[in-house]
Structure 1
C-alpha cells in the first residue's frame, strides 16, 4: 500500500509539471552586489548544474529579495544587530564585548556552517555556536532553536557573509557527519515512502500542486517564507518536508538534522550566501 501511495505522488510530479513560474535565467543583484545563483556542477555531483532556490521563485518574490527595504527578512537582521549590542546573562556581556564589529568578526561564519567544534567534539550548526557562546561567555540561558531571538541573531550573523561562497568542510572529523547526512538524504521514510532526492534531485523544476520544486539548496537560510509569514531555520524546513511525506521528523538541533544540513550545504558549494533570503 505504501509503495502504491508513493507511486501516486511521484506521478503527480509529471502530471503537474509545467513551465517555470519564474525566470530561471534571472540574476540576483542587491545594492550593486551580484550573487552567484547558478554554477556548473562538479564532476562528482548528481546534479547537472547547481541552482539557488531563488531561481525557482516567482517574479514578485525574486524582486522582493533584491530590495533590502522591501525584504521582510531584514527586520529580523535589524533586531539581531540590536541583540548583538545588548548585554545579557550573569556575565553582563554583549556579543560585541567579545567579538567587536560583526562585519569583521562574523564575516564568513555563515558560509562555513555547520562545522566541527573542537571543544565539544561534535558538529555545530550556527544555532549551536550561538547557544554555546551564550552559556560559555555570557553565562546566559540558551535560546530556543526557533525563537525570535535565535532567528534574528542567525539572520544578522548570516548577513555578514552575504555574497560569499558557501564553503563547508566535509573532511576530517566532519566526514562521518557528511556521510550520515548523505545517507539520510537518500533514505525513504514516512507513509509516502519518499526520500529528499525524489523531490529535490529527480524532480526539481517541476510543479507539485502550487509548489515549484527547487534543488533544496540552503544558502539562503534562515529564510522568510511568505507561507509562514515569518522567518524559519533550516531545521524547520527539514521538519516541514518530513511532515509532508507523513514521516516522524527529527528534532531541531538533532544530530540527524545537523548531518543533513552539512550534506546539503556541500551540495551547494560555491553558491553565494543569500541570508536572510525570501521564499514563497
Structure 2
C-alpha cells in the first residue's frame, strides 16, 4: 500500500513539476477569477446571478437582528455596515488582545456575539456564520488587500508560511507544490490557481453552496491524504495570515464564485 501511495505522489509531482520554495512575484499575481471560464466570470460579476449574494442578503438581515441575553444587534453597536465595515476584510486576520494571537473575520464575529450580545457562538460553516462573514466582507469588495502590520503577528505569519511550504500527507506535497510553482497548469482537468484568498466566503460550484477559506484549506489537506486541522484551529488562521500577505494588493471579491 505504501508503494502505491508513493507511486501516486510521483504521478502528481510529474503533473505539477519540480517543487521550489519561491513565491509568485508581485507583477505576476493573479486572482483565481482570471483562471475561470468566461461563463463563470460572468456569474460572479452579475449580482443578480451570483448565488453567493443570497448569503450576503441573509447576512444583512442578521446584521439587524437582536441576539443573545443582551438583546442587541450587530447594527446596535456598529451601525451602517456599508460605512463602518468598509475595509475591514482587507486587513484580517488581526491580532486579538484577549487571545494573544490572530483571529480571522469569522472568529471576530463569534467573539462579538459572546462578548457584546451574550449569545452562543455560531457553528463553523453554518449558514448564519457564513452569511454574516460574507456580508461584512462584501462591504470591502473592490478594495485592495492590505494585511495588518501589527508586529505581534510576525511569528504567526511566519508559521503560516512554513505550513504553506511544508510537505504533508501520503502524497508528500505542500501547498506551494502546486500554487506557487505550477499555477496555470492543469491538474485533474482544472487549472491550478495561485491560491489567493480574495473572495471568501465564496460560492463554489463543486460544493453547490458557499464556504469558508478554512473549508477549502481542509479540502486541500484531505486531497493530499493528510489529516486536516479542525475548523478554527490556530494553524488555519496562520495559513490565512500568510495567504493574505501573498495576496497583498489584489482586490476583495466577496462573494466570489469558483468552479
- 1:20 counterpart residue number: none
- 1:47 counterpart residue number: 24
What runs of 5+ residues in structure 1 fail to find an aligned partner?
Answer: 15-44
Tell me the matched-pair count. 250
How big is the shift at 1:252? Answer: 1.4
Pairing 1:125–2:104 present: yes
Pairing 1:269–2:237 present: no
Distance in 2 (CA, whole Å) between partners of 1:208 and 1:5 is: 13
Distance in 2 (CA, whole Å) between partners of 1:228 and 1:4 is: 29
> What are the equivalent positions in structure 2 for 1:72-91 lying under 5 Å apart?
72-91=51-70
Tell whether the 8 Å contact from 1:170 to 1:266 is kept in structure 2 after alignment: no
> What are the equivalent positions in structure 2 for 1:203-214 lying under 5 Å apart?
203-214=182-193
What's the RMSD between the two structures over aligned residues? 1.2
- 2:114 counterpart residue number: 135
- 2:90 counterpart residue number: 111
Tell whether the 8 Å contact from 2:16 to 2:177 is kept in structure 1 after alignment: no
From the two aligned structures, give the one with the greater helix fraction. Answer: 2
How big is the shift at 1:174? Answer: 0.2
How big is the shift at 1:210? Answer: 2.1
How big is the shift at 1:122? Answer: 1.5
Distance in 2 (CA, whole Å) between partners of 1:171 and 1:140 is: 29
Distance in 1 (CA, whole Å) between partners of 2:41 and 2:213 is: 20
How big is the shift at 1:126? Answer: 0.4
Distance in 1 (CA, whole Å) between partners of 2:182 and 2:80 is: 43
Distance in 2 (CA, whole Å) between partners of 1:224 and 1:69 is: 14
> What are the equivalent positions in structure 2 for 1:1-280 lying under 5 Å apart?
1=3, 3-13=6-16, 46-48=23-25, 49-280=28-259
How big is the shift at 1:95? Answer: 0.4
- 1:18 counterpart residue number: none
CA gap of 1:239–1:100, structure 2 versus 1, over 3 A, is same
What runs of 5+ residues in structure 2 fail to find an aligned partner?
Answer: none
Distance in 2 (CA, whole Å) between partners of 1:214 and 1:152 is: 25
DSSP 3-state at the match of 1:263: helix
Distance in 2 (CA, whole Å) between partners of 1:276 and 1:71 is: 8
TM-score by length of 1: 0.87
Distance in 1 (CA, whole Å) between partners of 2:45 and 2:166 is: 36
Distance in 2 (CA, whole Å) between partners of 1:177 and 1:67 is: 37
Tell whether the 8 Å contact from 1:117 to 1:124 is kept in structure 2 after alignment: yes
DSSP 3-state at the match of 1:107: coil
Tell whether the 8 Å contact from 1:170 to 1:178 is kept in structure 2 after alignment: no
Distance in 2 (CA, whole Å) between partners of 1:114 and 1:172 is: 13
- 1:21 counterpart residue number: none
